[in-house]
Amino acid sequence: MKVLVPIKRVIDANVKVRVKADKSGVELTNVKMAMNPFCEIAVEEAIRMREAGTASEIIVVSAGGAQSQETIRTALAMGADRGILIQSDVALEPLGIAKLLKAVAEKEEAGLVLLGKQAIDGDNNQTGQMLAALLGWAQGTFVSKIAVEDGTIKATREVDGGLEIVALKMPCILTVDLRLNQPRYASLPNIMKAKKKPIDSLSPEDLGVDVSPRLTVVQVVEPESRKAGVTVASVAELVEKLKNEAKVI
């Protein structure tokens, strides 16, 4: 079974995000970038599936600028077999990415698409669901446990009421949650090997996909600073403040 793992290059999770002076977006110049944390979890799970004998090949794919090749190399160093870069300087939206992934999944004849539930930059949580709809495949979202049994995937999903287990026929789409696994660090020998692993370069035109933006960003602003809290001496004073100042009761 081929496993296709889409990955995204985002601002490092430990970096404080700053809004541009003109409020057109966030500042990316001289900012440390990294693989989206949820994508790392997806790559790790694909590697574990290959180690268990349920996956034969792991293909990582990223859509974006030429710098995304660094992110693909990171996944290859973790243990993925080969990479695909869909190079585009257009600001890609979830629907456009889903269409690109559909074309790649069909071209590669993937049996499973394993991706993070969301990217920490846009927080859209849409690409996996859109891809499942475009392909007409079964989907399991917010997955925290995966078991492959006789051509069927049993996925444990995290839902509001607790956990839900769904059985999916392959090919299918899975979006992974934080508690699925702990991604491994790439070893130095694997980092050196990753430099020799192949990365194919494609364009949206090669795949016959129109990725023209459908959305317009009006303005990006930082959230308001939280006001300092106050200490009250009694329950009566608390009730009085909630009633007369906060006006929530």
Q: Given CA atoms 31, 104, 145, 80 in this order, what sign does their dihedral have?
A: negative
What is the distance between the alpha carbons of residues 179 and 215, in angstroms, rounded to a whole number? 32
pLDDT exceeds 90 at position 249: no
Output the pLDDT for position 229.
85
Residue 68 pLDDT: 95
- DSSP labels, 136-171: T-EEEEEEEEEEEETTEEEEEEEETTEEEEEEEESS
Per-residue pLDDT for 135 more than 90? Answer: yes
Pairing of strands 112-116, 138-149: unpaired
pLDDT digits (tens, 9 = 90+) for 6-35: 999 999 999 999 999 999 889 988 899 999
Mean pLDDT, residues 142-169 taken together? 92
Q: Flag whether pLDDT at 207 surpasses 90.
A: yes
The rounded distance, in Å, linking the Cα atoms of 217 and 23 is 10
Can you give the pLDDT at residue 247? Answer: 87
Q: For residue 9, give the amino acid letter.
A: R
Q: 2-224 has which CATH code?
A: 3.40.50.620
Write down the pTM of the prediction: 0.87
pLDDT of residue 227: 82
Q: Where are the alpha helices (DSSP H) in the chain?
A: 37-51, 68-78, 94-108, 127-135, 188-194, 235-244
Residue 128: pLDDT band by 50, 70, 90 thresholds?
Answer: very high
Q: What is the pLDDT of residue 204?
A: 95
Band of residue 230 on the pLDDT scale cut at 50, 70, 90: confident
Q: Over the stretch 28-71, which tens digit does the pLDDT of each residue have?
A: 888 999 999 999 999 999 999 999 999 999 999 999 999 999 99
Residues 162-198 pLDDT 10s: 999 999 999 999 999 999 999 999 999 999 999 999 9
- Token couple for 139: 């989907």
**pLDDT band of 108, cuts 50, 70, 90:** very high
- What is the pLDDT of the chain when averaged over all its residues? 93
Enter the tokens of residue 122: 């846009």
Residue 57 neighbours by CB under 8 Å, 6+ apart: 2, 3, 50, 81, 82
Report the percentage of the chain scoring pLDDT > 90: 83
